[in-house]
A = this chain, B = another copy of it.
């Protein structure tokens, strides 16, 4: 019962999900993560089950014992859990940090690619992003209150990536330093 432990991002996401659903199982949380457009996690069993156990041990989740033959545990959030979730959600320092963005991280390298390769890459990136945005927009209407703002932000992110790609595509090539063809 470590009262003042800081929740990890995954733990916060799990608490969010349980809070929103009122009553769920670890399995359904996993599936929600796997189906999500805005979450990076695969909902891997090896991450979710231990995290749920930690949260239950700390009294943030209530994991009621199985009632039938099936080994299902119904999860619900406790008052302490709601408080921890609020504290986690209101952690302004963490909320405003820029996170790990695979696009941003790679963007620094792209100017070093030969122009033709860079242009081809930019076209592929743009096509993928466009498809991703379309997919997200198509599902926006059917999303719940928790997922919708996340996806709205994910769309905004992807849109700003597209804008930047378009911007860069217009500019002249910088002297390329990486000439090998990627071994994909």
Beta-carbon nearest neighbor of A103 in chain B: B95
Interface size on A, residues (CB 8 A): 76
Complex: how many Å from CA A147 to CA B98?
14
Q: Is the CB of A110 within 8 A of B182?
A: no
Copies of this chain held together in the complex: 2
Q: Is the CB of A92 within 8 A of B121?
A: yes
Please classify the interface of chain A as helix (H, G, I), strand (E, B), loop, or mixed, using the class held by over half of its residues.
helix
Q: Mark A122-140, 1 if CB is under 8 A from B, else 0.
A: 0011001100100000000
A37, A79, A149, A160: most-surrounded residue (chain B CB, <10 A): A149
Residues of A144-184 contacting chain B, CB below 8 A: 145-150, 152-154, 156-158, 160-161, 163-164, 168, 174, 177-178, 180-184
Complex: how many Å from CA A106 to CA B38?
11
Complex: how many Å from CA A174 to CA B149?
13
Stretch at the interface among A43-51, A56-64, A68-76, A82-90: A82-90
Complex: how many Å from CA A132 to CA B98?
10
Beta-carbon nearest neighbor of A114 in chain B: B86
Q: Is the CB of A87 within 8 A of B12?
A: no
Q: Is the CB of B149 within 8 A of A182?
A: no
* Additional pairs, 11, CB under 8 Å, beyond known A96-B158, A99-B99, A156-B160: A13-B105, A39-B105, A83-B180, A86-B182, A92-B124, A95-B106, A96-B128, A99-B102, A101-B157, A107-B153, A108-B148
Q: Which residues of A are interface residues toward B (Cβ below 8 A)? A: 4, 9, 12-13, 16, 19-20, 37-40, 79, 82-113, 117, 121, 124-125, 128-129, 132, 145-150, 152-154, 156-158, 160-161, 163-164, 168, 174, 177-178, 180-184
